[in-house]
Amino acid sequence: MGKIDLQEFVWFDLGPKPPEMAINVSESGGFTFNQPAREALPSHIKIGITPDGRTVCIVEDPSSVYTLPKSGAVHRPELVRHIVSTGVILPARYAIHREGDCWIAELQAPTPKKRTPVRHPRRISKSEENSILEELKNDKRG
């Protein structure tokens, strides 16, 4: 092997991952901003959703009486109804990034649901198996 040229490599910094701002929309109708989003967004906001439900726009609205709660949970059923009516399957996750004066949240690909482990029937011993087979034979004869 020849001399390695470090300039040829693509280098990656493996330091802490920057916090990802996101909105989670649950099957129960929750529309919730995660902690990094709550910390970045202004308290008075207005929310817009595209007709296809794939993009959410959040803008600051100082004239709004509505303030984003500390919990990040927005209780507005019409938001979730609109998202569902466009065919978006819940639960849904939107990743947020800043663009100029607004925050854009884009629908992420759905993550597969965790499968519950299949419960395997208990194993029986050979003698138990023989006794069950013997009982079945006797029931057929009797």
**11-59 pLDDT, tens per residue?**
888 888 878 999 999 988 889 999 999 999 999 999 999 999 999 999 9
List, for residues 91-139, the tens digit of each pLDDT value: 999 999 999 999 999 999 886 666 666 677 778 888 888 888 888 888 7
**87 residue type, one letter:** G
Taking the model in full, what pTM does it have? 0.68
Which structural domain, as residue segments, surrounds residue 45? 22-107
Question: How many domains in the chain?
Answer: 1
Extract the runs of DSSP E, i.e. beta strands, from the chain. 22-25, 31-33, 45-49, 55-60, 73-74, 92-99, 102-107
List, for residues 4-15, the tens digit of each pLDDT value: 888 889 988 888
- At 132, list the tokens: 């069950």
Question: 59: number of CA atoms within 13 Å, CB side?
Answer: 8
List, for residues 52-90, the tens digit of each pLDDT value: 999 999 999 999 888 889 999 998 899 999 999 999 999
Residue 141, domain member (yes or no):
no
Residue 4, domain member (yes or no):
no
62, 68 Cβ separation under 8 angstroms: no
pLDDT for residue 1 is more than 90 = no
Residue 113, domain member (yes or no):
no
**pLDDT score, position 98:** 94
Own/partner contacts of 45-54, CB < 8 Å, gap of 24 or more, are 47/74, 47/76, 47/79, 49/79, 49/82, 49/83, 51/86, 52/86, 53/82, 53/83, 53/85, 53/86, 53/87, 53/88, 53/107, 54/86, 54/88, 54/106, 54/107
Residue 139, domain member (yes or no):
no
**pLDDT score, position 111:** 67
